Structure 1
Amino acid sequence: MATTHIKRSASASRLVNYAEKRAVLKDGLNLDVDYAKSQFKQVREVYGNQGKTQAYASRISFSPKEFDPKNEIDQQKALDIAKEVYQKTYPNQQVALYEHADTDALHIHAVVGAIDLETGKKMHGNWQEYREKLVHNTDEIVQEHGLAVTQVDPERYEKRSMAEIKMQDRGQTTWKDQIRQAVDSTMSNQLIHDFQTFRDDLKQKAIDVWERGKDLTYQLTGTNYKARGNKLGTAYEKGAIYNELERRTRDTQSETRKPDTNRPDNTQSDLERNQELSGNANSTTKQATTRIDRTTGTNRTSQSARQSSVSDDIERFKQQQRDQQRTISRDAQRRAKPLQRADKDRQSKDNSRTAKDKQRPTGQQQHVENPKRQPKPNRSKDYGPSR
């Protein structure tokens, strides 16, 4: 007989550290178990999906009558069965498996990554459904291996003290049973799909309920008899109630969004609807098909003719551009010749002038270039002695 368990965790590394210390065998799905912590972190960073919940702690425990914790063959077989269970239940999740043999029963701790490797989103939904799915897959696989299926522990659904058990044996109903019966009656009504309607319905049954921290508190109206959800059983805890109400809300919304298949399609044209009503749709379709077949050859011929004419036009245009370019080049050469001839004449004149200047005597060149200033005549002698 195998038992299962699952709960969420805010630290994948903490789960790995705890499970890895005492592991006699280990294995992994969609990861290398020797580098589980770094690979869990890498996937969270790649998808940018951090959040509070990083992983889920799960456990599968086998009966000592089926597997001996000290037998290595039994250890390997139990690990293989657990790996098969988690492969079927979480095919797109990272799962690190660590087997412990330090108790009377072989048990495997599984650290399940929160992120789906295909969608990049986290697991969300009803945790009661997640556990039931895990239990269902476990039962199927252990039966294939010749083992007993999981036996439901009633104390996990309803927690009872020794005083309650004795009163139940005497056929007496306790005040906790009154609360359980009222909650069961309310949750059996499928119209209850949010916490406000859940509270209002319980109030009509003389039960007050309110949120207190991470759980719900129930109280018989007008009395001091009250209890928290975890004291009544897992089915009465805040998480179980809220998950079931959220599931009903999603189901209601999905039913509301379903399209009406009986309503005519608005995208269909009026002509098509009239043809269907008159019964001429098939004949019209055949005529259109025949018309298309007849014109197919003509269209292909005209299309090839158009393509050839376009090619001829392009080639003609290119030839015109080449002719125009040659004409422009000849005109430019013709206009440049007189300019080149004038430049040569001017250059030859400058060269001859320079040669003549070099042949002149040096004195003449200096006289021409730097003529001396003539002295002024002394005219004081013409006017007699100075006064």
Structure 2
Amino acid sequence: MLVKHTKRKDPLGVAQYVLNRSEAQVIGGNLICLDNPYTIAREIRHSCAASRRLQYTTYHASLAIAPPAQLSDDGWFLIASDYLDKMGYTHLPYVVVRHTDTDHDHVHIVAGRFDLDKGKRVPGDWDHYKAEAAARELEVEYGLPLTVSSWYKERKPPTVGMIRHERDTGQPAVKPELQDLIDDLSGQVDSLDQFADRLEEAGVELMLKPINETTVGLTYHFKGLYFSASQLGRAYTLNGLRQFRGIESPQDSAAVMDWWEGRQRGQESAQVEPGPAQVQDEDHSQPEPELATEFPTPAQPASQNQEPPGVDPSLKELEVQQRQVQKDEDRKRKAQQRRQKQRNRQMEL
């Protein structure tokens, strides 16, 4: 059974999407009026009025089974009710609507996010993993065909939003483009160092961060967007690259981070050290004695702010510029990290 779910700030748009279709069929719920989107939205808003901090008041989930399997209305309503219980959505308003516009037999659930019995919002932490676990349990309990969990797939498929984006704009979504690029590059290298080099040449920035004592997280920065390895699929994590792509890397997380820090230091040294074209030839590094009027003579003492003999002003200016560029990059990276943390906190709500 496939599960897709989101959280919304207002229930009206979701209720209209679910109900305002010719093939929509309400099969259950606990609301006063189950077929009017405005009444549904009003009841969900009223149930969440006690919490002023709850921004995302509505939970929307779709449950689907692969064809040719079909369920009865009663069967779908029981599964949807059990799914809500497993996700912690028990004492709150909800409605279950069945759609028959696709080959996949599926239902939609629209529910409030404030538990009226406990007097607090339903926790939204780790919802994706909870939904996958609930789906696997329901498959066993109701004898449905077993589905491989999304986190066990080598490559995650495109989402509905990506498909719509490609259909409406004619432009490929960034996520599958990045997956294709990594698939292509990972087949050309044998080591993690080579892999990072090829990614950099292709415009992809690889970032590593320790998660715990045994796990190192990978993040890919591509075309202004950040994707964690788990968002792309199992094969794009550090262990997945080793297992599915044959890319050699240290087994110990500490050794991986030592390699990464050494690589970062090497890149910084390469940026600071001037190239051959920036170094003057030996014969021209010092001015001719009889023409050296820019340096003070014994009768003309040197100023304290004056550069000592033999220092190329262009090299000093280049070093200052490189330090400023590095500072600007550090500030941008910190700002991006702050924005990512803010987005993560908003998703948890």
Q: Which TM-score applies when normalising by structure 1?
A: 0.44
Larger Rg: 1
TM-score norm. by structure 2 comes to 0.48
Q: Name the structure with the higher helix share.
A: 1
